[in-house]
Amino acid sequence: MSLKEDVGIKAASYVKNGMTVGLGTGSTAYYMIKEIGRKVKEENLNVVGVPTSSTSKKQAEEMGIPIKSIDEVDKVDVIIDGADEISADFQGMKGGGAALLFEKIVATYTDQVIWIVDESKMVDKLGKFPLPVEVVPYGQQQLFQLFAKKGYKPSFRMDQKAKKVTDSGHSIIDLHLEQIDHPEQLAKELDETVGVIDHGLFLNMVNTVIIGRPSGAEIISDIR
Ligand SMILES: O=C[C@H](O)[C@H](O)[C@H](O)COP(=O)(O)O
Say if CB 30 and CB 8 are below 8 A apart. Answer: yes
Position 10 confidence tier, pLDDT thresholds 50, 70, 90: very high
pLDDT digits over 164-203, tens only? 999 999 999 999 999 999 999 999 999 999 999 999 999 9
Looking from the CA of residue 95, the nearest atom of ligand 1 is: 1
**CA-closest candidate to residue 57, choices 43, 37, 83:** 37
The whole-number average pLDDT for the span 143-157 is 98
What pLDDT shows up at residue 100? 98
**Is the shortest distance between the CB of 45 and ligand 1 below 6 Å?**
no
With pLDDT > 90 as the criterion, what percentage of the chain qualifies? 99
Cα first-last separation, the chain: 30
- Rg of the Cα trace of the chain? 17
Q: Set out the domains of the chain in order of their start, with CATH numbers.
A: 3-122+203-220 (3.40.50.1360), 131-197 (3.30.70.260)
What pLDDT shows up at residue 155? 98
Q: Are strands 208-212 and 110-118 parallel, antiparallel or unpaired?
A: parallel
Position 45 confidence tier, pLDDT thresholds 50, 70, 90: very high
**Is the shortest distance between the CB of 84 and ligand 1 below 6 Å?**
yes
What pLDDT shows up at residue 84? 98
Position 128 confidence tier, pLDDT thresholds 50, 70, 90: very high
The whole-number average pLDDT for the span 65-93 is 98
Position 61 confidence tier, pLDDT thresholds 50, 70, 90: very high
CA atoms of 223 and 220, how far apart (whole Å)? 7
Give the phi and the psi of residue 214 in degrees, each rounded to 5. -60, -30
Nearest CA to ligand 1 atom 3: 95
Position 87 confidence tier, pLDDT thresholds 50, 70, 90: very high
Say if CB 36 and CB 49 are below 8 A apart. Answer: yes
Task: Give buried/exposed letters for 51-66 (b at 16+ CB in 10 A, else e).
Answer: bbbebbbebbeebebe
The whole-number average pLDDT for the span 70-93 is 97
- Which residues are annotated as catalytic? 103
DSSP-based three-state secondary structure for 194: coil
Position 117 confidence tier, pLDDT thresholds 50, 70, 90: very high
CA atoms of 64 and 162, how far apart (whole Å)? 33
**CA-closest candidate to residue 21, choices 43, 2, 40:** 40
**Is the shortest distance between the CB of 97 and ligand 1 below 6 Å?**
yes
Paired residues of 35 in beta bridges: none
DSSP-based three-state secondary structure for 65: coil
Burial of 206 (0-12, 13-18, 19+ CB in 10 A): buried
What pLDDT shows up at residue 21? 98
- pTM exceeds 0.95: yes
Position 134 confidence tier, pLDDT thresholds 50, 70, 90: very high
